[in-house]
Structure 1
């Protein structure tokens, strides 16, 4: 989906190039239920719900302006498979998820990881986006410490072809660091504790 399809304000939005890679890393083709933490404009929520209409998408956002904007975009794209909660994660949610996307931790990195570990099914995917290097490093270190599987840290820099005077240049977007990992399968966890 193109960025210009979404209703926009000053609320931050995960840009389409980053969104495409992040959603791909969530492996939603095999998911039944997804959680978006820090939905912002709702771009990840909407694209996931629109691309996978059978997917149950739950979103959380603490900023009232962003909540209102996400609701507007849900209505615009007629996404019937989205539930939006206003609040600061971690919050109490029912059931488990196959995939969790984190667009913002609100300074609660460790709590978010513990909470995501509880909410994800074994083999479930966790993808986090950061613009601050320190936050990405902290996330990767916590993921390693908690023995998340298939940890990948990827830096993405995208630029858009933009006119300037008689010529063109690539207008840069903020570089984004994508941290992705997977919750260990139960038999892996049992084997690791037996070996410890």
Structure 2
């Protein structure tokens, strides 16, 4: 076998900050690859130097393969296994073909400068991700580090925090950490200057809510008002029970079929950053609304499919869980969802009409699981008094597809 690809983490301090082992690997390499900025941080070695093409990821497999049999050294920023190129190379080549020599990450350096405990800080990367990804980390009293995409990121983060009702939050931007150009800029989100800073920066935020700001909790059951909708919305109390039945597990994929406002898929993804979801909605205006809700609530990665089930389900990745919130009476929808569900996966379907209840009852008779009827009443004015205004009862059917080790039919 040829030598493994060696990935060397390099900081803003360049050659001076490299370990002896990292320097030896660079001197011994026949090919050194990296960005123009990274290559400029190390002295000219005798090796062939290759600057990454743009875009990098599509070209990377062929680029690495073309130098098989040679000693290849790849430069990466900071810790290559923390939101870095090292993880991509391991996924591409396998752990046995990659050797990683890390440098302290920008998060470690930022926490050291600020005196923050790294294990108590929420880290959000905005490299190739929308700024709305920050939303799920914004909670009063919490500290957050944002890995910036460029010099405009701090101003975008400040604008998002201000619009969200966290304009009082202290912000610190740390530029070129560890390098000769290191600089620290501080202020508050609400008064942040839009002037861009150095592209190599980390944004530190201490989340402080403005008076009257309503927090958005992590647990399912966000207020109905948190969603833009036209009435087609799984209400807060029903949504909380539905998600408990879906039993989200980190990294799993959910299909939200007949998604309406997308509330179930959105709360599924808010539960853990590794969770994924596809919202299927036949009405284009509702599909567009789902995308807006997903961005506003911090999960812009939600995939929205506009089309009618079951046809719109064809070609989608098999899910670990399925929620049917609308369209359960459409012929073939229930059957297609059950067929696509992975072994051990959970299917949850809600019904509010006699016709949809009949479909759930038939499914229960055939596949097992359990049926629950949920009746919710909300207090409302009755003249000068207060009475209970009942919502339409909802029937919830839950079934588990057999096949996975330890999974029992009908038990989530």
TM-score (norm 1): 0.85
Count of aligned pairs between the two proteins: 183
Aligned to 1:95: 317
Q: State how far apart, in whole Å, the 2-side matches of 1:23 and 1:88 are.
A: 23
Asked whether the 8 Å contact 1:54–1:81 carries over to 2, the reply is no
Deviation of 1:80 after TM superposition, in Å, equals 3.1
Aligned to 2:326: 104
**Residue 384 of structure 2 is aligned to residue 166 of structure 1:** yes
Which structure 2 residues correspond to residues 143-162 of structure 1 after superposition, within 5 A? 143-145=364-366, 148-149=367-368, 151-162=369-380
Asked whether the 8 Å contact 1:31–1:98 carries over to 2, the reply is no
Which structure 2 residues correspond to residues 24-63 of structure 1 after superposition, within 5 A? 24-29=244-249, 32-63=252-283
Asked whether the 8 Å contact 1:133–1:177 carries over to 2, the reply is no
Q: Secondary structure at the match of 2:345?
A: strand
Q: State how far apart, in whole Å, the 2-side matches of 1:55 and 1:45 are.
A: 10
Aligned to 2:346: 125
The gaps in structure 1 that reach 5 residues or longer are 189-196
Aligned to 1:182: 400
Asked whether the 8 Å contact 2:277–2:302 carries over to 1, the reply is yes
**Residue 363 of structure 2 is aligned to residue 138 of structure 1:** no
Asked whether the 8 Å contact 1:163–1:169 carries over to 2, the reply is yes
Aligned to 1:71: 291
Larger strand share, 1 or 2: 1
User: Cα deviations across residues 126-168 of structure 1 (Å, max 9, x unaligned)?
Assistant: 00011012322222213432xx34x111111101112333211
TM-score (norm 2): 0.42
Deviation of 1:30 after TM superposition, in Å, equals 5.9
Kindly report structure 1 stretches of 4+ aligned residues shifted beyond 6 Å: none
Larger helix share, 1 or 2: 1
Q: Secondary structure at the match of 1:181?
A: strand
Please report the RMSD computed on the Cα atoms of aligned residues, expressed in angstroms. Answer: 2.0
Asked whether the 8 Å contact 1:26–1:125 carries over to 2, the reply is yes
- Counterpart selection for 2:239 from 19, 22, 25: 19
Alpha carbons of structure 1 residues 3 and 186: separation in structure 2 relative to 1, 3 Å: closer
Q: Secondary structure at the match of 1:136?
A: helix
> Which structure would you say has the larger RCO, counting Cα contacts within 8 Å and 6 or more residues apart?
1
Asked whether the 8 Å contact 1:53–1:81 carries over to 2, the reply is no
